[in-house]
Chains A and B, each alone.
Chain A
Amino acid sequence: MLNFLLTGTSSNGVLTIQLHRPEALNALNTALLRELADTLDNAATDSAVRAVVITGDSRAFAAGADIREMADLDLVGVMNDPRPQYWARIAAFAKPIIAAVNGFALGGGCELVMHADIVIASRDARFGQPEIKLGIIPGAGGTQRLIRAVGKSLASQMVLTGEPISAQRAYDAGLVSELTEPELTLERAQQIAASIAAQAPLAVRQAKDVLLRSQETHLAAGLAYERKAFTLLAATEDRNEGIQAFIEKRRPEYKGR
């Protein structure tokens, strides 16, 4: 049973996960994070799910981790914290994730946004890593994924001052791929998810895999890895279907094989 998430899968293969802890601006406590990791684990093997949208509500995507929980942990407690395992499971999810961000995406919330493959944000969204203001630093990729997304100077400014940036700034810097009106953010993210869900599932997984790999390796290795994945797809039925449908000017019917 889910306590902090609302979920629903549409017939076109899009699983929408809404973070639902409105009283805490969707702060990512350990229980919520575990539910999220579990939900994605289930979605990983559910063939009805082809893409995932993660969203919050109109005020906040997620305003950080649960500070109270954190306050109780000493060094040993932090070392034994299960949270990094949950984050690793979220990062390992092989199907595409689209974040639909309204309002605040701060701290852990911003880090969760950066676990998504695509980020759609409303014009009133705000992104930040305010951990420094509490005498700590980001602990779930906030220093690593941010610098890769927006570059050194802006990432350093955000992490070292803790000051958030506007949606427009995040868009200009490349953290966000599209800005929308607040009321249409989720709808737009679901549209994009649906268009991905309509593609050949194996190709989508391979594409996500090689895209992420590019962040972890040098160009020559990345290109070799890409070529391997490209070659691998040659053995799939869907590849033949996709190319054949293009030549015959019809819609492809993918089977995930």
Chain B
Amino acid sequence: MAFEHIEYRVDQGVAVLTLNRPANLNSFNAEMHAEMREALKQVRKDESVRCLLITGNGRGFCAGQDLSDRNVAADAEMPDLGLSIEKFYNPMIRTLRELPLPVICAVNGVAAGAGANIALACDIVFAARSASFIQAFCKIGLVPDSGGTWTLPRLVGPARAMALSMLGDKISAEQAADWGMIWSCVDDDALMDSALGCARHLATQPTQGLALIKRALNASSTNTLDQQLDLERDLQRMAGRTADYREGVAAFMEKRKPEFKGC
């Protein structure tokens, strides 16, 4: 499948997925969703990929749903927005959260609506200083989707999550970093170097171990401490069986740099 609305390339173990509808601030229409799904399938299948980096072309990261792609004419039947979420957004967010490798996001410009929440669903988020985050849903009578009502309170706390969702205020990258909503705010011209550098580093690390860390942290938000302790035991059991664990210990004992294979 040749991509038109996104770009996808794999280099040094890093898959770089670039949203590519710059004239529409990379907002999602059905075709872009289909390409995104296909690209994520490739990430899962391609064993050489050990880290995924998502970013956008042009001045925006992603403006969420392309409103012109949805039928909301006054005389038309009420649209079933749940269907589009069930079909497109939810599987995408689930996939990003479940991918057994680190997912980095480089937010190059405005991240609005679902675009903001797609970024926040990633594991480590870098944002350019000029970038911003907007929970725009409330301004058109909608509810934050793509996991926003779940991720936001966990990232910034319930008070800020509620105000962000109800006011739809624009939050600068700097503010987002100060609040702990994202990992790092960097100068615009340093964004790709920072994000790609991080992705390349992670692509040399024990990928399975990182995937298990991701699983543990994702589960922690719904588990009790007791359940989480059991989960840590189970995941550690699996981590202890990886070749990378052996390599890590061996390299430490031999005082050399480990060479992780991701398995």
Enumerate chain A interface residues (CB-CB to B < 8 A).
Answer: 180-181, 183-184
Contacts and interface: CB of A to CB of B under 8 A. Distances in A.
Interface stretch (B126-134, B148-156, B185-193, B232-240): B232-240
Nearest to A188: B234
Nearest to A124: B98
Contacts of B231: 181
Contacts of A180: 234
Contacts of B235: 181
Interface of B: 215, 231, 234-235, 237-238
Given A180-B234, A181-B231, A181-B238, 6 more contacts: A181-B215, A181-B234, A181-B235, A183-B238, A184-B234, A184-B237
A181 B223 CA distance: 14
B124 to A, nearest CB: 23
10 contacts: A180-B234, A181-B215, A181-B231, A181-B234, A181-B235, A181-B238, A183-B238, A184-B234, A184-B237, A184-B238
Nearest to A168: B222
A181 to B, nearest CB: 5
Contacts of A184: 234, 237-238
A184 B238 CA distance: 8
Contacts of B234: 180-181, 184
B98 to A, nearest CB: 9
B95 to A, nearest CB: 13
Contacts of B215: 181
Contacts of B237: 184
Contacts of A181: 215, 231, 234-235, 238
A47 B235 CA distance: 36
Nearest to B235: A181
B188 to A, nearest CB: 41
A125 to B, nearest CB: 15
B230 to A, nearest CB: 10
Nearest to A181: B234
A32 B215 CA distance: 36
A180 B231 CA distance: 9
A183 B215 CA distance: 13
Nearest to A180: B234
A184 B236 CA distance: 11
A184 to B, nearest CB: 6
From A180, A181, A183, A184, residue with most partner B Cβ within 10 Å: A181
A183 B231 CA distance: 12
A180 B234 CA distance: 8
